[in-house]
Chain A
């Protein structure tokens, strides 16, 4: 252990061999000469008995300069007279458009039948919307999905079933549980109605054409940006008056 320690101590170069020439920021021209420093910078400055007086001068200048800079910026901020005000406004507008989020869901024994039925209903819905004057850009498909329909989704093979039935019965029972009895095809889309006078007609017609799910109906304003700007302007005016 002692041998290893001595070997490590010998491997470290002596501090006197490392010489660093300072770039003096202060007026140290008359003391311009190499300064001996240890390998660990500032720690050595405070620990070295032969530390040069220039190091103290340099650090002192840096600390004084930084403290003056911080004080001057803090004072500059305090000297600016400011006032903080706030204003609130609320405006109410009558909506002029509606967005219907609806879906057509078709179920059939085979996947092909379910898809065909769903496509037929969607075509009817799109034709109806076109005849009602709803432009294509206001109709967008938001979701499409196909999922199997199980005979009983909550029923799974149990240990009791496996122990009471014969091996063949068990296999038949499990096979019947994991085989789907049909397929569900669902297509969801959103319809934007820009003329609210048509809302009732279109809403009723959608059900007649095969829509069987309505997730959400929201009423909006087509000039929302304009109304938001107006609300902001009123709030600024209120803030200036306060």
Chain B
């Protein structure tokens, strides 16, 4: 976006992160429903997410956008 405006990114002013994590889980009621002989399971996948917000100081700016 900065390049489209003909600007360059200079130093970082601030940065923040919002991270998320979810792991597959067998709930207690599901455990009790299954017997010891039937322990087939599918752990699936762990989902890890991250959202980063960065505020940059703009460097050189031109009045006309770059093409």
Contacts and interface: CB of A to CB of B under 8 A. Distances in A.
Interface of A: 80-95, 98, 196, 199-200, 203-204, 207-208, 214-221, 224, 227-228, 231-232, 234-236, 238-240, 242
A239 B52 CA distance: 7
Given A199-B41, A231-B19, A88 B50 contact: yes
A180 to B, nearest CB: 26
Interface of B: 1-2, 7, 9, 13, 17, 19, 21, 23-28, 31-32, 36-37, 39-41, 43-58, 61
Classify the interface of chain B: helix, strand, loop or mixed. Answer: strand
The 5 A-B residue pairs with the shortest CB-CB distance in the complex, in nearest-first order:
A207-B36, A219-B43, A235-B52, A231-B50, A81-B58
A134 to B, nearest CB: 16
A92 B46 contact: yes
Classify the interface of chain A: helix, strand, loop or mixed. Answer: mixed
A61 B43 CA distance: 72
Given A214-B28, A220-B23, A228-B19, A84 B55 contact: yes
Given A92-B45, A95-B43, A228-B19, A81 B57 contact: yes
Contacts of A196: 43
Nearest to A84: B55
